[in-house]
Amino acid sequence: MGEPHRLQPRPVHRDDVARGDRQGEADLPLQSERLVPGRRRGGGLLHATHGRDGGRTARARRAAAVAWLGPAHPARRRHTCREAPVPAVPEALVARLRAAGCVFAEEEAAALTAADGGPEQLEDRVARRVAGEPLELVLGWAEFCGLRIAVAPGVFVPRRRTGLLVDRAVEALHGRPGVVVDLCCGTGAVGAAVAAAVGPIELHAADVDPTAVRCAERNLAPVGGRVHRGDLYAALPPDLRGRVAVIAANAPYVPTTEIALMPPEARDHEPHSALDGGADGVDLHRRVAAGALGWLAPGGTLLVETSRRQAPLTAAAVVAGGLAAAVVRDDDRDATVVVGTAPDRWPVRA
Ligand SMILES: C[S@@+](CC[C@H](N)C(=O)[O-])C[C@H]1O[C@@H](n2cnc3c(N)ncnc32)[C@H](O)[C@@H]1O
């Protein structure tokens, strides 16, 4: 790895790939957050990054941090809500978090203080945060599409950009109830958000990781979602074949060699099985696309989150799977989704 990447003055999101100063770096895999390896403590990824930029004002650092954390971050949420001013918190706690590199020390202190429990639990939470654990894991929840999603150690924290997958799934349902599959579900955030948006649906979620399955069960129980454990489609009940209106997949898509370039929150606190997409990052996409026609209803929709750089590979996989493919891009969320549409008629594969 060469020079560390400094963030541009323009905002980036916590779940963005951190953009380097070079234009050519502007399209890295979205799950990989390429910042300064090994230079972060607590929330100090930006702090460490910007520590190299002595001329940058505190305001500019904060603006970049706001964007990096994104609205999914509990501390950011407080920051952006003008009607809910940050309650007074002990200065010593703020100073401790700041010293650990937390850019949003006041807001994080407030979030940590507001969580349930007494002084011992608060001290435990603060110690974990100061040691570098992501705030969402310390608090036990992340905001996603306006929902509070339970997260647990060892499970992928849902990212703001994945809201595009949710939006497209809602659109594909055309306001009609239909069977939705949240494939590679992690916490089940995608399925939960779709169900919250469209009302009662037959929702199935699947993940290979038992910790993710337990977490998804917590998040999807209130909307009646069923969670299955297993390798991609092998996890699903066979009677779903040919009946699924929408498959939404945020499968791992970080190229294996780029995981080491991710910030510590991801590479140290999320399982690599939730990130690793193989040599070019698209191994899982190929498998998801190859199996989709066996499960989709005629005219059904496959949605696959990808990066702008990888979108042509993902789209090619979708076409090879027998679907028409289109790439949808949302610059605001730095999100890319390949939309695959099944033919109106075809023999359902055995
Ligand atoms: C990037 S995370 C996305 C989680 C969730 N969909 C979200 O957006 O927050 C990818 C998930 O895929 C799961 N996964 C990886 N390989 C899988 C496989 N072969 N079959 C099913 N799930 C898999 C991981 O356990 C992880 O939970």
What is the whole-number distance in angstroms between the Cα of residue 212 and the centre of ligand 1? 8
Percent of the chain residues past pLDDT 70, beyond the cut: 74
pLDDT of residue 86: 55
C-alpha angle 191-333-227 in degrees, rounded to nearest 5: 15
- 231-262, pLDDT tens digit by residue? 999 999 999 999 999 999 999 999 999 999 99
- 152-197, pLDDT tens digit by residue? 999 999 999 999 999 999 999 998 889 999 999 999 999 999 999 9
Give nearest CA residue, ligand 1 atom 4: 186
pLDDT of residue 85: 55
Dist CA 113 CA 46 (whole Å): 23
CATH architecture under which domain 155-341 falls: 3-Layer(aba) Sandwich (3.40)
Reported pTM = 0.79
Question: 204 near 188, Cβ under 8 Å?
Answer: no
Of 51-55, 90-94, 138-142, give the lowest mean pLDDT range: 51-55
Q: Shortest CA distance to 184 belongs to which of 149, 236, 143, 136?
A: 236
Q: How confident is the model at residue 75 (pLDDT cuts 50, 70, 90)?
A: very low
Model confidence at 209: pLDDT above 80: yes
Question: 246 near 173, Cβ under 8 Å?
Answer: yes
Is the CB of residue 49 below 6 angstroms from any atom belonging to ligand 1? no
Mean pLDDT of 30-59: 31
Is the CB of residue 272 below 6 angstroms from any atom belonging to ligand 1? no
Model confidence at 73: pLDDT above 90: no
Is the CB of residue 190 below 6 angstroms from any atom belonging to ligand 1? yes
Q: How confident is the model at residue 328 (pLDDT cuts 50, 70, 90)?
A: very high
Is the CB of residue 147 below 6 angstroms from any atom belonging to ligand 1? no
Among 156, 190, 306, which residue has the most ligand 1 atoms within 8 Å of its CB, making it the best to mutate? Answer: 156
- Mean of the per-residue pLDDT values for the chain? 80
Is the CB of residue 156 below 6 angstroms from any atom belonging to ligand 1? yes
Mean pLDDT of 37-64: 32
Is the CB of residue 306 below 6 angstroms from any atom belonging to ligand 1? no
What is the whole-number distance in angstroms between the Cα of residue 178 and the centre of ligand 1? 22
- Residue ranges per structural domain of the chain: 23-145, 155-341
Q: Backbone phi, then psi, for 30, in 5-degree steps?
A: -70, -25
